[in-house]
Amino acid sequence: MTKKTGNQGRKPSVLDSFKPLLIDVAVPLGSYYLLKEAFGMSTFAALAWSSVVPAVRTVWGLVKERRTNGLAGLILVVNVVSLLLSFLSGDPRLMLAKDSGVSSTVAIGILVSVWLGKPMMTEGMKPFLVKGDADKEAAWQRMMSGAAAESAAFRAKERAFSVVWGLALLAECVARVVGAYTVPVDTMVWLGTVFLIAAMALAFVVSGGLAVEPMERMLAAEAEAGREQQPTLAVAA
């Protein structure tokens, strides 16, 4: 029997899904203040150089994985085009506003995935609900396939989870654009991070109450029903 070690076979969580986005926020923020305060760069130069990091990380991720990632590709295009426009205009506010392009790209990707019937956030949510339990895993498969009585309600909550995250990130995008052109640049550099954290916290709370908790109850009930049917099936066999 093969024994799994470390993180082998580990499924992604919600945090794993958003880890690249968090890195793209934390690293540029720290880089901006380091370049401006420690190295005396201008506001625009500090913003420009700190914005290169997310683009390089995205390229490296694509090269390392050696496969096409549509969402990562879109984010890369948004970053590159926005950087070019910002360099041409020399406007630090446009440099700040470009960050909203990343959030909006992720948000639109999530909402489109719901419309296509393959909610993007499901893979991050599933481990929290299944928790490695074989009965819950089987119940999940029945729910998703339509074989369970509560399948329709379960799938509706699944879609609602992704919709909440998509709308929260779109709201963050709008707030960031408005702030980029109305708030002092030095303030907006850190305030943009506050917007993102607030949007994610709101999405966690709302999606938890609206989707995760009801799905958890339905999944537990379906898993229990499956366990009760097993003795009956064994006797029939």
Of the pLDDT bands very low, low, confident and very high (cuts 50, 70, 90), residue 111 is very high
Range 75-103 average pLDDT:
69
What is the pLDDT at residue 213? 93
What is the pLDDT at residue 89? 62
Range 150-168 average pLDDT:
93
Residues 6+ apart with CB under 8 A from 163: 110, 111, 114
Q: Which of 125-129, 179-183, 187-191, 222-226 has the highest mean pLDDT?
A: 179-183
pTM over 0.75: no
Helices (H) and strands (E) in the chain, counts: 10, 0
The tens digit of pLDDT for each residue in 174-213 reads 998 999 899 998 888 888 888 888 998 999 999 999 999 9
Of the pLDDT bands very low, low, confident and very high (cuts 50, 70, 90), residue 146 is confident
Using an 8 Å Cβ cutoff, are 44 and 33 in contact?
A: no
Local structure of residue 2 (DSSP, 8 states)? P
Higher pLDDT, 106 or 164: 164
Lowest mean pLDDT among 37-41, 59-63, 98-102, 195-199: 59-63
How many angstroms separate the CA atoms of 69 and 106, rounded? 12
How many angstroms separate the CA atoms of 100 and 105, rounded? 8
Range 214-233 average pLDDT:
81
Higher pLDDT, 200 or 229: 200
Determine the Cα angle at 155 with ends 150 and 156, to 5°. Answer: 100
How many angstroms separate the CA atoms of 136 and 194, rounded? 37
Whole-angstrom Cα Rg for the chain? 22
The tens digit of pLDDT for each residue in 12-32 reads 455 555 555 566 666 666 676
What is the pLDDT at residue 6? 45
Using an 8 Å Cβ cutoff, are 180 and 195 in contact?
A: no
Residue boundaries of the structural domains of the chain: 14-232
Query: Comparing C-alpha atoms, which of 157, 166, 160 is closest to residue 199?
Result: 166
How many angstroms separate the CA atoms of 219 and 215, rounded? 6
Using an 8 Å Cβ cutoff, are 97 and 137 in contact?
A: no
How many angstroms separate the CA atoms of 104 and 99, rounded? 9
